[in-house]
Structure formats: C-alpha cells, structure tokens
C-alpha cells in the first residue's frame, strides 16, 4: 500500500460512498414509480451497483491513491467556477435520467419490449467496461479537472484510440440507460446530459492544453475526442 494512504479510513469512505450512492439511486428509481414491481429498474440498479462495487474494490487493491482522488467529486470539489456550474447541471440531468423512467412506469406512458431492455443493459455494461479500462490505464483520472505536479500524458490503451475514453464509456452508458429502464421520455435527459459532458470535455481540453506538458502534441497524435473516426 502506497505511503500516505490510510487504508482503513479509505475503505470506510469508499464503502460509505458506494452504499450511500446506491441507496440514493434506488430512491430516484423507485419512489417516482411508487412501486417495487419495476423489473427494468431492478436489473439496471443491480448492474450499476455490482459494477461500481467491483471497480471500487479493484482501485482499493491496486490504486488506492486514485480511489482517494476519485472520492473527491461533485460541484463543491471542483476548483474552477465553470466546472462547478457544469457539474451542477450534470447532477441535475443525471437525477432526471433516473427519475423520469419511474414516472413513466407509474403512469404507463411508454412500453419498450423486454429484448430491447436487455440490449440496453448490455450496452450499459459495455459502457462501464470502457470506463474501467480507462481508469485502469490512467492513474491520474481524478473526478475533478486538475493537473498534479507529477502528472504526465497517458497515450496507451484506450487513450491511444480516443482522448477521453472515460467520457466515451459514460456517454454510451447514459444513452443506453433510457432503453435499459424502458423509458422513451428519459432520452431527453440522456441527450441533455451528453451535451453537458461534451461541454465539460471541451473545457477540460482547454485547461489541459494550458497546464499539462505534452498534451497539445498528444491531441495532434490522437485526433478523436470521444468517438473513433467520428469526433
């Protein structure tokens, strides 16, 4: 275990964070539906919970310093005012992404066939996998936009394909969520959230170009930001 990391305290913080977040997510999914007979939400919530727990356990064992940095997340943790605003908007859009399907379920506003829901869950899983691979490759992948004194440009693994594989996986997961939850109206929230992520990505690139040595050269080498051969 690296020096400076309190393992016991980090384990408690990570456990509290994961459990607290999943409880909050469960409330967002099931309270608007006003029923627990919402199988799409149960599958999605379980997939999200297991994926988050496995990623946390991996970081706790192999890169506790990164886990500690990733626990410092959200609008308050962001040092830049613009990123505080972006993170606040993202949090609201994410809440909407989870609340709207429950409202639809309650009022029976849309019906998506079960096979398509399963496809949505599979795509959510792929999104999580892409995010995990990016985390495993980049020990500097904090939850906030910052540059550490010892930070260097990562150009290997998924970072050799697109400049922001974490966001690529996140966008795939977000766009697949309405399908996984059997919701058509949630597509509006998903589109809004993806737009906010793009805004964050562009602002982050501007910051890294100014503060991270070698980043501009990396951008010339890897031209695609989010989607290979598209953008």
Print pLDDT tens along the chain (231 aa): 444 567 889 899 999 999 999 999 999 999 999 999 999 999 999 999 999 999 999 999 988 988 888 888 778 888 888 888 999 999 999 999 999 999 999 998 878 999 999 999 999 999 999 999 999 999 888 888 888 888 899 999 999 999 999 999 999 999 999 999 999 999 999 999 999 999 999 999 999 999 999 999 999 999 999 999 899
> What CATH number labels 7-221?
1.20.120.1630
What ranges make up the beta strands (E) of the chain? none
Measure Cα distances from 102 to 27, 42, 227 in Å: 10, 12, 30
Q: Please give the pLDDT value at position 43.
A: 97
Residue 135 burial (CB count, 10 A): 21
């Amino acid at each position: 275990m690296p020096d400076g990391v309190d393992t016991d305290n980090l384990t408690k913080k990570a456990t509290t964070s994961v459990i607290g977040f999943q409880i909050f997510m469960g409330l967002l999914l099931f309270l608007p539906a006003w029923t627990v007979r919402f199988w799409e939400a149960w599958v999605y919530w379980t997939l999200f919970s297991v994926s988050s727990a496995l990623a946390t356990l991996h970081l706790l064992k192999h890169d506790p310093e990164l886990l500690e940095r990733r626990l410092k997340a959200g609008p308050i943790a962001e040092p830049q005012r613009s990123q505080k605003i972006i993170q606040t908007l993202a949090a609201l859009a994410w809440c909407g992404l989870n609340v709207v399907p429950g409202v639809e379920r309650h009022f029976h506003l849309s019906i998506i066939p079960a096979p398509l829901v399963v496809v949505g869950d599979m795509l959510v899983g792929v999104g999580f996998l892409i995010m995990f691979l990016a985390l495993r490759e980049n020990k500097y992948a904090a939850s906030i936009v910052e540059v550490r004194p010892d930070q260097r440009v990562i150009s290997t693994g998924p970072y050799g394909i697109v400049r922001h594989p974490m966001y690529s996986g996140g966008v795939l997961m977000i766009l697949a969520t309405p399908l996984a939850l059997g919701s058509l109206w949630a597509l509006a929230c998903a589109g809004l959230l993806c737009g906010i992520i793009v805004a964050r990505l562009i602002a982050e690139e501007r910051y890294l170009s100014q503060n991270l040595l070698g980043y501009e050269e990396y951008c010339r080498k890897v031209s695609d930001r989010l989607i290979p051969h598209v953008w």
